Amino acid sequence: MTKTTLVSLADSLGVSRQTISNVINAPHRVKPETRARVEAAISASGYRPSAAARQLRTRRSMNLGLRLMPVHDGINGSILDRFLHALTETAQRDGYRLTLFCADSDADEIHQYEELLQVSDIDGFVLTGTHHGDQRTAWLLDHDVPFAAFGRPWNDAEDPRRSRHAWVDVDGGAGTAEATAAFLDDGHASIGFLGWPAGSGAGDDRRAGWQRTLAAAGVAPGRIQELTASIDDGVQTGAVAARHLIAAGATAIVCVSDSLALGAAMELRRAFPGVPAAVTGFDDTPVAAAVGLSSVAQPIEAAARHAVAVLTHQLAETTTGGAGVPAPEQHLLLPAALVRRTPYPLDTGIPTAGTP
Amino acid sequence: MTKTTLVSLADSLGVSRQTISNVINAPHRVKPETRARVEAAISASGYRPSAAARQLRTRRSMNLGLRLMPVHDGINGSILDRFLHALTETAQRDGYRLTLFCADSDADEIHQYEELLQVSDIDGFVLTGTHHGDQRTAWLLDHDVPFAAFGRPWNDAEDPRRSRHAWVDVDGGAGTAEATAAFLDDGHASIGFLGWPAGSGAGDDRRAGWQRTLAAAGVAPGRIQELTASIDDGVQTGAVAARHLIAAGATAIVCVSDSLALGAAMELRRAFPGVPAAVTGFDDTPVAAAVGLSSVAQPIEAAARHAVAVLTHQLAETTTGGAGVPAPEQHLLLPAALVRRTPYPLDTGIPTAGTP
């Protein structure tokens, strides 16, 4: 390595890394003679402790906190993992690191905020999974903690565009509307919706996109009601719920997730043999691509980049009192896009021929 | 919240969180009268700044660093994401947080180590993706930085059991040997191996498990040579390479990854219509489960828990000079397990019937 680094400097001076770090960040901890010697060496070497200097200048830790959501299902988990990767890369380009934590609930997440603010000196948070009655955003606002949410506020009384906090989200409802319209174009008259139990903001929004498209096509409210099923996420639950929708006459099914869609695809193939399953999932996961399932894709990397931009701008404002850089959009709804595929046959019946 | 927290304490005293944090962590920064008032309130309130106190007592940051590997393929990426989740949860239970970073190369990763040690005061690192000629482990050893590796050392000259650094790994070769033996039991005589280009430690190890099983079954070395193909990971590359193996007579294929296996499964079904594809992947990803592909599973959560245990034990030793707690196994090879499934037919031919 030709570049002077903290380590090469420490080696050449015969002092510890910590001593050099203290000279930069906490000079009062270092004996005056050592401090003078290290400072002279720093000047002579051309060593540029860029991140450390910035940290000192801004009095920020340059760490952002993110709760790692539990893995319920490896299929749908991939979307949050893509978000995490994009977040880490973007934050690092801006000089920030990401600190991860786990929590069992909103209340526990708030408890973790407190501990992280106190112990790890976190500068701000990125939230995911906003939902009805979310206590986390209120807590962060009340305590003046900088944050950006992936997910709009879902409180009925509030217009998301007037929210007191920054958010970026994807227009899932427009995605399911597009999927529903595509099935109408294909000639399907009875299009079912397989969703999560009511109360999840994103899930309700996706159901609403399907519902308003059927209503606009003249489907009666009572019929729309018959064509929807709500169930916890999963391939098996998807298969079970799809059976009910097919019994109610559905020939195509729009799903809130790829896991449910995978189960629904099996049932549609069983009900309509020899016909590609008319089903769409959500999130365009690797599983959807692998089995040829149509799915609504979220621009998740763009959402992550925007969340970081909003948060780092907030932090810069806090420190400099406004550097004159225009703020990124505080409330941003990104478009979703339907990815149409013709599915490989997914059959539960196994051929009876033996191995070669 | 009934429990006294940093925030409730700050609110009741009318001081900032930072002031309380300073009283605990850097009392010299706080005016004596404020410090006395806060200390009295802390005693009276029963507030227990557990993590902060531990940080102060141990002089550790309680932060562990992990490089987030780039996403090449959403299919195989899921295994490292499971590792990340288990690592975060286990570390947090031990009072540690995980700090993520990105790097383009080993050299860049080392550069990030330096910056993280200096700026973010990271206590130690977890490494993944050890490989032949790995410069990272040498650097960390040279600089006395505590770390644990997921992946054994792959330098030919070195016996991994005598490595100077702690590692935990999964016996991938035993997994592919089991998969190969299962195909032999099924009556397959020509079993191919679809692997990555030579040089990746884990990939070579998985190939070796297949190779030694065929050799033990009496397959001639020249024939073994004809039955292996090396190619970059991916579904399409897997299909292309599988065609060559099938042309060479392979009726079953053991694969180094689920992505390659998915491509191979399509080609086997095309070559042997009406017969379940005799293919195994590696990592037992959600995609393998979704399409019914057999795959070798790694006990990835156990590996993550062990890596954390080794690292936190090292850190405790550094601080206390040995607390008498026995050290966890420094070189641990965990077993892999073949998950056998009968695959759903994966056909590239799409039925010609129209939509209902």
Which one of A70, A287, A351 has the shortest CB-CB distance to B287? A287
Q: How much is the pLDDT for A196? A: 95
CATH superfamily to which B63-169+301-335 belongs:
Response regulator (3.40.50.2300)
Which one of A17, A115, A275 has the shortest CB-CB distance to B118? A17
CATH superfamily to which A63-170+300-336 belongs:
Response regulator (3.40.50.2300)
For the segment B278-319, what is each residue's pLDDT rounded down to a tens digit?
999 999 998 888 888 999 999 999 999 999 999 999 998 876
How many Å apart are CA A279 and CA B349, to the nearest integer? 19
B286 to A6: CB separation less than 8 angstroms, yes or no: no
Cβ proximity of B151 and B303 under 8 Å: no
Q: How much is the pLDDT for B221? A: 97
For the segment B139-157, what is each residue's pLDDT rounded down to a tens digit?
999 999 999 999 999 887 7
Q: In what order do the strands lie in the sheet with A63-67?
A: A331-335, A167-171, A147-150, A124-128, A63-67, A97-101, B97-101, B63-67, B124-128, B147-150, B167-171, B331-335
Mean per-residue pLDDT over chain A, rounded: 86
Lowest mean pLDDT among A269-273, B70-74, B89-93, B120-124: B70-74
Asked if residue A176 has pLDDT above 90, the reply is: yes
For the segment B40-75, what is each residue's pLDDT rounded down to a tens digit?
887 777 665 545 555 555 567 889 999 998 877 678
Mean per-residue pLDDT over chain B, rounded: 86
Structure tokens at B16: 């900032």
B100 to A100: CB separation less than 8 angstroms, yes or no: yes
Domain ranges in chain B with CATH number 3.40.50.2300: 63-169+301-335, 172-298
User: Which spans in B3-47 are helix H?
Assistant: 6-13, 17-25, 32-45
Asked if residue B356 has pLDDT above 60, the reply is: no
Q: How much is the pLDDT for B351? A: 32
Which one of B6, B68, B115 has the shortest CB-CB distance to A88? B68
B89 to A75: CB separation less than 8 angstroms, yes or no: no
CA-based nearest residue to A255, from A217, A292, A306, A294: A294
Residue whose pair of structure tokens reads 């009511």 in the numeric block: A198
Q: What are phi and psi for residue B282, nearest 5 degrees?
A: -145, 135
Chains A, B: CB pairs < 8 Å = 197
CATH number of the structural domain B172-298: 3.40.50.2300
Instruction: Pick the more confident residue, A307 or A29.
Output: A307
Asked if residue B223 has pLDDT above 80, the reply is: yes
Instruction: Pick the more confident residue, B44 or A3.
Output: B44
CA distance B201 to chain A (A): 25
In CATH terms, is domain A1-38 a member of 1.10.760?
Answer: no
Q: How much is the pLDDT for A46? A: 61
Domain ranges in chain A with CATH number 1.10.260: 1-38
Lowest mean pLDDT among A83-87, A96-100, A278-282, B7-11: B7-11
Find the angle CA(B130)-CA(B132)-CA(B135) to the nearest 5 degrees: 70
A290 to B75: CB separation less than 8 angstroms, yes or no: yes
Question: B15 contacts in A (CB within 8 Å)?
Answer: none
Q: What DSSP element (H or E) covers A304? A: helix A300-320
The residue of A97, A184, A347 whose CB has the most chain B CBs within 10 angstroms, and thus the best one to mutate to test that interface, is A97
Residue of A nearest to B3 (CA): A111
Q: How many CB atoms lie within 10 A of CB B6?
A: 21
How many Å apart are CA A150 and CA A130, to the nearest integer? 7
B20 to A97: CB separation less than 8 angstroms, yes or no: no
How many Å apart are CA B232 and CA A5, to the nearest integer? 36
CA distance B21 to chain A (A): 6
Q: Which residues contact B317 (CB under 8 A, 6 or more apart)?
A: B323, B327
Cβ proximity of A280 and A236 under 8 Å: no
Residue of B nearest to A249 (CA): B356
